[in-house]
Amino acid sequence: MNIYDVTIIGGGPAGLYSAFYSGLRDLKTKIIEFQPKLGGKINIFSEKMLWDVGGQPPILAGDFVENLKQQAMTFDPTICLNSKVHEIRKENGVFVIETTDGKYHYSKTVIIATGGGIFSPIKLEIEGAEKYEMKNLHYTIKGLERFAGHEVLISGGGNGAIDWAVELLHVAKKVTVIYRKEELTAHEAQIKKLREYNVDILLNAEITSLLSNEDKSKIETAVIKQNGQILSINVDDIVISHGYNREVSLHFAPEIEPEKKDNYCLVSTGQCKTTVPGIFAAGDIVTYNDKVGLILGTFQDAVLAVNSAKLYMEPEANEYGMVSSHNDKFKEKNQQILERKFA
Ligand SMILES: Cc1cc2nc3c(=O)[nH]c(=O)nc-3n(C[C@H](O)[C@H](O)[C@H](O)COP(=O)(O)OP(=O)(O)OC[C@H]3O[C@@H](n4cnc5c(N)ncnc54)[C@H](O)[C@@H]3O)c2cc1C
């Protein structure tokens, strides 16, 4: 049985920084993440600019994820992707973490960093739509360049949809927004921008079918129903922004069920400890007074959770990790960085 010191559930910013810090504290570390890639919720908005992370000039969220991942790998944690944790129980003093693919992971401590749960985009309910997903039907925008000179139809009226529409204004040849309600619900300033550019906004409208080109390789026309009338719009791309389904099915065996708030968030009793010894929590999932629900808050939680895990396993250990500037663990790595810099 391969027993880890710390197993982190969730590979978002809280999980990734926990992995870095856990390595800094000499703990054998594993991350289990449901999605096929690390980064958590930030992957939903990877083309947006982040301004509010301390010490970080404005940066594309996708690039920021790459930095987080690079830092998380500093001490070579084990990474398990495409693995959804189904249940956590405790047997003979060791946590047993069961994933839905039937695998078992063993750990002395667990850090829950599952954020708001597993997010997946709400899909277009049109028969056969899925076959265009790798072509010109999109549920997220990974890079704006792909849309250069294209006619893009955006379905949705919330912040996500309207933010994309605004970003695409300067890239696409034409942007059309359709929304099933009577009014857009996004921020007013963003809606104003769309109106300034005379973007076609079709309200009380929804896509009813998709017509493909001759070789059926992509969607050519979206058929839309608006106020009972049928319209056809030629498209190069369709972006669907109908929100996200959130799945929160992580179970704890009854004897190690931590206290929750609002039936989901894990209550911290201080230092990101849950009410169950050996189980800690970091990031959006943990709740306490003065909690900062931002990326920067996840870093503080990660440090607290890892230090708590360390003390749980080694009560005589230092309460805090040593600062990185004076930490011998980085001696060799510092040397390599300096050599590269002055090469
Ligand atoms: C649209 C949007 C814009 C935002 N903009 C900003 C911003 O500008 N600045 C800022 O500071 N913050 C921003 N935030 C908030 C920020 O994204 C979150 O605070 C941060 O991502 C929380 O990180 P986390 O690691 O706690 O959780 P998450 O990022 O949610 O990561 C949790 C991870 O756990 C995984 N997971 C969940 N359950 C399981 C399971 N059972 N098994 C395995 N894996 C599981 C999920 O797949 C996910 O990858 C924004 C959020 C949104 C939605």
Average pLDDT over residues 209-224: 91
Q: Nearest residue CA, atom 20 of ligand 1? A: 295
Mutating to test ligand 1, I would choose from 8, 9, 42, 63 the residue with most ligand atoms within 8 A of its C-beta, which is: 42
Question: What gap in Å lies between CA 132 and CA 212, rounded to an integer?
Answer: 9
Beta partners for residue 98, in sequence order: 87, 104
- Transcribe 235-289 into DSSP letters: -SEEEE---EEEE---EE-GGG---EETTTEEEPSSTTB-SSTTEEE-GGGEE-T
In sign, the C-alpha dihedral spanning 35, 41, 43, 45 is positive
Same fold across 3-119+245-342 and 123-242:
yes
Average pLDDT over residues 148-159: 96
Identify the pLDDT of residue 45: 85
Mean pLDDT estimate for the chain: 95
pLDDT exceeds cutoff 90 at 44: no
pLDDT exceeds cutoff 90 at 155: yes
CA 226 vs CA 76, 158, 181: distances in Å: 54, 18, 10
Q: Nearest residue CA, atom 30 of ligand 1? A: 115
3-state class (DSSP) for residue 144 = helix
CA 245 to centroid of ligand 1, rounded, Å: 14
Identify the pLDDT of residue 135: 92
Q: Which superfamily is assigned to 123-242 in CATH?
A: FAD/NAD(P)-binding domain (3.50.50.60)
CA 84 vs CA 45, 190, 308: distances in Å: 22, 36, 25
Q: Rounding to the nearest 10 degrees, give the CA dihedral for residues 55, 61, 64, 69.
A: 140
The type of residue at 23 is G
Identify the pLDDT of residue 144: 87
Residue of 327, 328, 241, 313 lying closest to 278 (CA atoms): 313
- What element of type H or E holds 22? helix 13-24
Query: Which residue is it, tokens 């993440």?
Result: 33
Question: What gap in Å lies between CA 64 and CA 41, rounded to an integer?
Answer: 12
11 pocket-lining for ligand 1 (C-beta < 6 Å): yes
pLDDT exceeds cutoff 90 at 140: no
Question: What gap in Å lies between CA 308 and CA 305, rounded to an integer?
Answer: 5
Residue of 152, 139, 141, 210 lying closest to 178 (CA atoms): 152
Give pLDDT tens digits for 82-129: 999 999 999 999 999 999 999 999 999 999 999 999 998 999 999 989
**What are the residue boundaries of the structural domains of the chain, listed by start?**
3-119+245-342, 123-242
CATH 3.50.50.60 fits 3-119+245-342, yes or no: yes
The type of residue at 47 is E
pLDDT exceeds cutoff 90 at 18: yes
Give pLDDT tens digits for 27-37: 999 999 999 99
Q: Sort 129 into a burial class: Cβ within 10 Å, 0-12 / 13-18 / 19+.
A: middle
Q: How confident is the model at residue 216 (pLDDT cuts 50, 70, 90)?
A: confident
**CA 145: distance to chain centroid?**
22
CA 115 to centroid of ligand 1, rounded, Å: 5
Q: Which 8-state DSSP code applies to residue 341? A: H
52 pocket-lining for ligand 1 (C-beta < 6 Å): yes
Give pLDDT tens digits for 286-338: 999 999 999 999 999 999 999 999 999 999 999 999 999 999 999 999 999 99
